[in-house]
Chains A and B, each alone.
Chain A
Amino acid sequence: VKHRPVHPRLRWLAIGAVAIVATVGAGIYVLSPDSDVAPVQGLRQLDLVYLDQPAPGLDRLGVEPGRPAVILFCRPRCAEPTLTGAQVSQSDDPELAASYALLTSSGRVGPGYALVDAAGQLRYRTFDPAPAQHAKEIQILVDAVTSAR
């Protein structure tokens, strides 16, 4: 196949178009309210089970020992995801949310959730704008925590 070089003007036009689309698209996202859900974007839906520390306040949250738990932190309360193999608890207590690092500096509780394994260890927590709509995502993490122990 013989290569036919693209006309330089057309090439620069295309590159310019890509640059504009990328800049406008990323700009719209950065300025949207959705980008402000988490104080640090790295704390949002990272999907990495990276914690292993005792989960605070499980008795206050009504979590039964011996079973994995997904604890939602939302104010106002949010819809709960349907999960298998894990109990779901919910709290809008700022003090508890702070102990899970799911309280923002402006005092907003979540929205987000924490994942606690059967041994009562906090394994993951994240800001999440709509946990109920992300049940499949959460289930993958529940399954990972369950199979790891």
Chain B
Amino acid sequence: MRGWIAAGAVVAAEVVLYWQYAELDGEFHYWLHGLFGAALGVAVSTAARLIARRRWTVTRTTGWRLTPWEAALLGHLYSAFPDVMFLVADVPHHRWMDVFAFHITAHFVPAAIPTVLVVFLLALAG
């Protein structure tokens, strides 16, 4: 049940984010930061789960862990945080915002959307 609620909440949050970007004709930025951030979230979640299993088997005993959708949304929000600051607090971008999943540098990756899509699919398959 929790998984379904989480999935619904993630879809709703992604729709809101997409709508916000589309208002500014910024769909490119939605896909770029969305896919890369989601890949990061899923990869970190997977790595944490593997480490926890190996060391303490925590996930099996405590019963609570992030679903891939929750991890993906958290990664997306982390990656897109500078855009949220821009939209909510009128803060323009700065170079230091690369700390948010290479938020600035990611724009200059050749064929950026196909590249981050492949990264995301690989993370998802992991």
A and B interact: yes
| Interface class of chain B by DSSP | helix
Of all chain B residues, which has the CB nearest A128?
B25
* Bound Cα distance from A44 to B68, whole angstroms: 31
Would A46 and B68 be within 8 Å (CB), given that A2-B63, A23-B121, A29-B31 are in contact?
Answer: no
Is the CB–CB distance between B124 and A42 below 8 Å? no
Among the 9-residue stretches A11-19, A81-89, A94-102, the one with 4 or more Cβ atoms under 8 Å from chain B is A11-19
- How many residues belonging to B are interface residues under a CB distance threshold of 8 Å? 39
* Residue from B3, B24, B107, B125 within 8 A of A42 (CB atoms): B107
Contact with A along B1-21 (1 / 0, CB 8 A): 001000100000000000000
Is the CB–CB distance between A140 and B64 below 8 Å? no
Total A-B Cβ pairs within 8 A? 87
Instruction: Identify the B interface with A (CB < 8 A).
Output: 3, 7, 24-29, 31-32, 35, 38, 59-60, 62-65, 68-69, 72, 86, 90-95, 104, 107-108, 112-114, 117, 120-121, 124-125
Is the CB–CB distance between B90 and A35 below 8 Å? no
CB of A49 within 8 A of chain B? yes
